[in-house]
Amino acid sequence: MGNACRCQQYTSENMELISGRSENVNKKGESITIPQQNGTTVSKKTTHKQNDDDGDEDQQVQEVQQIELKRGDKKKQAKINAVSDTVEIFENVKKLDKRKSPFDYQLMLNAFNEHFIFKSVPQSDIEYVVDQMFYCTVPDGQFVFKQGDMASSYFLIERGQCQIIINGELKKTLKSGDAFGELAMLYNAPRSASVKAIGDCAFWAIDRNTFRKVVEQQNQRSYEENREFMKKVEFFSFLTEEQRDAISSVLITSVFKKGEIIVSEGDVANSFYIIKKGKVAIIKGDKEVSQMNAGESFGEAALYQSCQRAATVKAAEEEVRCLSLSKDDIQRILGQKIQTVKYINTQKWALQQSPLLGKLTSIQIEKILQNIRQVHYEKNEMIIKSGQPCTKVYIILEGEIATMPSKKLVLGKGKIFGEQFLKSQGQDNKVTETIQVQTDESIIAEFEIKMFFDMIGGSVEQMIQKNENSHEQKYLNRTNVYQKKDYSNLKLDNLICIKKLGQGQFGNVYLVRTAQDEKLYALKCISKAQIVEQHLERHLAQEKQVLSTINFPFLMQFYKSMKDQNYIYFLVEFIKGMELFDAIREIGLLTTSDSQFYIGSLLICVEYLHKLQIIYRDIKPENIMVDEKGYLRMIDMGTAKFLNQKSIRTYTIIGTPHYMAPEIITGKGYTFSVDLWSIGVCLYEFMCGGVPYAEDADDPYEIYEEIQKKSITFPTFMKDKKAKKFIEQLLSKTPEARLGGGYASLKANTWFDKFDWDKLMDKELKPPFLPKKSRMIQEKDIQSAVIHNKLASKEINFNRCTLQKGKSKRLKLGFKLLIQSFKYTNKLLKLTWFFVLLHIFEFYILKSKVKQRINFALIQNSSS
C-alpha cells in the first residue's frame, strides 16, 4: 500500500530534497543549526573560529553539515517483499541421489556452525536441516547461477572449485568445504554475483522454503511444548504472560540416560532445571536422599545468587528430559535479577488490584514503580508508631505486618497499607495503633505520599475524573475508535478518477472521488493474474483482514474492497500531506521535542496494533505520512499480519534491511518487539541524521552482518543522554529488553518526562512541521478532473489495454525479426531458433493457463 496515500506531487521542481531547516544553508560561510537537548537550536557561522575552545563546536557543526548533505542525497530503501511457499529451484543444477557419509555430514555441520546467519539456530535444528540437504552437480564451465538470476538455494561445495564473478570480473575462487548463496535462505532476491564451475563440481544444497519450514516447525513445536509445560511449574507463577513467552523461547532441552549425572555436588551453580520427562535421584555424598518427578524443578538458587550445587542429581530412568535455564539468559531477558522482577511484578499487581490506586493510568503506575524502594525489616520491628502520621504507602512483598496490640488488621504478601490516607491528601493521617512486623524477616516496598500528589498534580478525586478521559481509556482500550460510515453501496462505476498517484507492487494507485460528495479516496488496484503467478493469495487475504480490523486515528482508514475481471480494488483514505521521509529532510536534524512528538506517535500506533495481535514489520519514514495538520499516519499494511496466541512467533524474512531487527535475520522466529527495533532506528535517524548500522551499505549481506556484529555508536554532537539510553533500549540485541515492563513503561521513560500523551492522542499538541501546500494536490486539479468526469473503471481499463498493446507490439516485432533471421542462418542455427520459439510459445501458453486460475477461493473471499 506504499503509494496509496502519498499525496505529494513529484515534479522536477519539488523532487529536490532540502537538507536543513529554512535557516540552514549548506554553503560555506552560512549558518548551520545544531539541535539541542532542550528543544532549542544554536546557530553558528561555519567560517569563523572565535578561539580554541570553539574547536569542538566547529567540528560538530561540520559533522552536522556533512550528515545533512548526506541525508539529502539518500535514496529510499527497497523492502524485502513477501514470497510464496511454493518450492522452486532456480539454479542450474542436476539433482542426484546420494547417501550422506560421516565426512559429508560433518562438512555440512561445520559450514552452518561457522556462519553468522546460522549462529543462533540450535544445534538440534541444524542437524535436522542437514538431514534435508540434497546432492547436485554442475559440469565444468557451466554457471551454477548468473548475476541477476532469482535465488532459491544455499550451496556447500563437496567437490571441485567455483569462481565468484561480479560484473564480469573474477572476485574470488571457492574450494571444497566453502559455501555460497546464504542470502537465499532469507529471501527471494536477484543474485549479486555469478558462480561458475571450474571442473566438474558437486554440491550439498538446501532450498529456502525447505530450510525455513524445517527451522520453523522445530522452533514452533519446541516453543509450544515449553510454554505449555511452564504453566505447570510453580517457579514461574509470579511472571507475566509476556515474560513466560520470552523465557520459553530460550529454554534448552537436554536428554540424559540412566545413571548419567546432570549436576554434581560442589560445582558452581549457574542453571535452573525443570524435569520434563522421567525421574531423577538427589544424592548427597554417596547416599540417595530423595527423588524428583516430571514437573518438579531443582537449582532455583542458581538464578538468585552465586552458589555451589548442594547435591548431585542423576537420571534415574532410561530417558530423562530436562529443560534448563541459565542465570545469564533470564537476566538478559528480564533485564534485572529474578528476585527484583518478582518484587516489581508483585508491586504492580498490588497497585492494579487496589480499589483506589487501581484507578491510576498504567503510565502513572509505572512512575510510582520508578520511585518505589524496598526495605528489609526484622521481626517485631516498628514501621509506624501509634499516634504518628503515616507519610508513606506500604506494599508487603515478603512476610506479614499487623496492628498492635489488637492485631485487628493483619496484612500479608501483595497487600497495601496507607492508601486510605491518600484521600485526605496527607491531612488527618495519624495511625491509631502501632504497625509492626510479625515474621522473622519482611520485605516491604514504600513510596512517599507527597511524591504521589506531586505526580498526579491535584486531589485523588480530580485524578480519577481526569483519568476517565485519558488516552488509555478513550483510545487504546478500544479496538474501534471511529464510527465507520457504510460504504456497501459504493460501486466502482461511482468513482471519478482525479489522477494516478503511483504504482504499487501489483498495480496502480489512483486518487478518486464520488460524483455525489467531495471526499477524496485512494484506490489501490491489485492484479489478480500477478497475485496468482506469485502464489500470494494468502498474503493478499491477510492484508485485507488487517485493513478491515484496524480503526485508529493515527492509521490509514480502509473503507471497502471491490473486484472486476482483472483486479481486486482496495478503497482507502486519501491522506493529504507528505511522506515523513521527505519531511525530515526539510526539517533537518530533529530536536528532542520534535523527536518525542514523532516517536510518541509511532509508539501509540504499534501499541494499538500489538493489542490486536498485529505485527507491522516495516516501520520506516517512507511508510509514514505527515498529514496536512502535521500529525503522523501510518500506511502500507502489506507487511502486517496477525500473530495468534498459539503461534506468537513468525519466521518470514520481510521488511527493509536497514530497519530490520537482528532476530528476523537469524531465522529463529520473532515477535512484536521487531517493531520497537524499527522505531529505535527511526529515532536514531531523526536525531543523528543516518541509520545506526551500515549507513553507507546497499548490499543486504553487509547490512545484516553489521546489525548482527556491531555495537551502536553515536555522533559527537549527540548530547541528549536520556535519548541515547532510550535508543539503546529500543536497539537492544535482546528482543525482550526493548519493551521492558510494557508500553506504559516505555511511555513513562525519563526521556518522555513532561510529555503529554493525552494531548498527543487528542491532537492538541503543536506539531514540529506542516507540509507546504505547494507540495500537495491543488483544488483546481481536482475540479478539472471532475469536469471531465472520467470514471475510474474506464481509466484503469484504458491503462491496462495500453500496457497490453505495448507488449503485443514488442512480441510481434520479436517474432518478425526471428523469422527474417532464418534466411541468413545455417541448419544448426535454424534448429536453435526453432527451440527458442518453442520455449516462447510454451511460456505464453503457461501464462494463459495461469490467468484461467484467477477465480481462486482466497481472492474471492478477500474481495467479498
Domain ranges of the chain: 31-73+577-773, 94-208, 231-334, 362-469, 806-862
What is the model's pLDDT at position 849? 46
Alpha helices in 297-359 (DSSP H): 301-304, 327-334, 338-353
pLDDT in tens, 643-672: 876 557 888 888 999 999 999 887 778 999
Q: What is the mean pLDDT of residues 95-106?
A: 91
Q: How confident is the model at residue 615 (pLDDT cuts 50, 70, 90)?
A: very high
**505 annotated to bind ligand:** yes
**336 annotated to bind ligand:** no
397 has pLDDT over 70: yes
**507 annotated to bind ligand:** yes
Higher pLDDT, 40 or 841: 841
State how far the Cα of 129 lies from the Cα of 211, in Å rounded to an integer. Answer: 6
677 has pLDDT over 90: yes
State how far the Cα of 26 lies from the Cα of 47, in Å rounded to an integer. Answer: 12
**681 annotated to bind ligand:** no
State how far the Cα of 621 lies from the Cα of 682, in Å rounded to an integer. Answer: 7
Alpha helices in 731-826 (DSSP H): 735-739, 743-747, 757-761, 779-788, 792-821
Considering the domain 94-208 in this protein, what is its CATH number?
2.60.120.10
Among the residue ranges 96-110, 468-482, 829-843, the one predicted with the least confidence is 829-843
98 has pLDDT over 80: yes
**506 annotated to bind ligand:** yes
Instruction: Give me the residues paired with residue 171 across strands.
Output: none
Cα angle 179-182-185, degrees, rounded to a multiple of 5: 140
pLDDT in tens, 331-386: 887 777 788 888 999 999 999 999 889 989 999 999 999 999 999 999 999 999 99
What are the grid coordinates assigned to 355, written together? 480499589
What is the model's pLDDT at position 514? 84
**729 annotated to bind ligand:** no
- Fold agreement between 31-73+577-773 and 362-469: no
Homologous superfamily of the 362-469 domain (CATH): Jelly Rolls (2.60.120.10)
pLDDT in tens, 158-199: 999 999 999 999 999 999 999 998 877 776 678 889 999 999
83 has pLDDT over 60: no
618 is catalytic: yes
pLDDT in tens, 291-324: 999 988 898 888 888 889 999 999 999 989 898 8
Q: How confident is the model at residue 498 (pLDDT cuts 50, 70, 90)?
A: confident
**509 annotated to bind ligand:** yes
Instruction: Give me the residues paired with residue 284 across strands.
Output: 287
Q: How confident is the model at residue 738 (pLDDT cuts 50, 70, 90)?
A: very high
Closest CA relative to residue 670, chosen from 693, 643, 633, 694: 643
Are the CB atoms for 110 and 154 separated by under 8 Å?
Answer: no
**DSSP characters for 530-556?**
HHHHTT-HHHHHHHHHHHHH---TTB-
What is the model's pLDDT at position 305? 80
817 has pLDDT over 60: no
Query: For residue 441, which amino acid is it?
Result: E
Are the CB atoms for 404 and 480 separated by under 8 Å?
Answer: no
Total Cβ atoms within 10 A of residue 553: 17
Helix axes 338-353, 327-334, angle to 10 degrees: 40
pLDDT in tens, 212-236: 777 777 777 777 888 888 887 888 8
When the pLDDT of each residue in the chain is averaged and rounded to a whole number, the result is 81
Closest CA relative to residue 851, chosen from 436, 576, 531: 531
> By percentage, how much of the chain surpasses pLDDT 90?
42
What is the model's pLDDT at position 786? 62
Selecting among 207, 618, 627, 675, the annotated active-site residue is 618
**524 annotated to bind ligand:** yes
What is the model's pLDDT at position 44? 40
480 has pLDDT over 60: no
721 has pLDDT over 60: yes
What DSSP character marks residue 476? Answer: I
What is the model's pLDDT at position 809? 52
What is the model's pLDDT at position 398? 93
619 has pLDDT over 90: yes
**672 annotated to bind ligand:** no
Q: Which listed CATH number (1.20.1260.10, 3.30.830.10, 1.20.1440.230, 1.10.510.10) goes with 31-73+577-773?
A: 1.10.510.10
> Which CA distances in Å does 139 have to 94, 99, 150, 164, 734?
9, 21, 20, 16, 45
The residues, any chain, with a CB within 8 Å of residue 286's CB and separated by 6 or more, are: none
**DSSP characters for 190-248?**
B-SSEEEEEEEEEEEEEEHHHHHHHHHHHHHHHHHHHHHHHTT-GGGTTS-HHHHHHHH
Helix (H, G, I), strand (E, B) or coil at 573: strand
What is the model's pLDDT at position 827? 58
80 has pLDDT over 70: no
Q: What is the third-level CATH fold of 231-334?
A: Jelly Rolls (2.60.120)
814 has pLDDT over 70: no
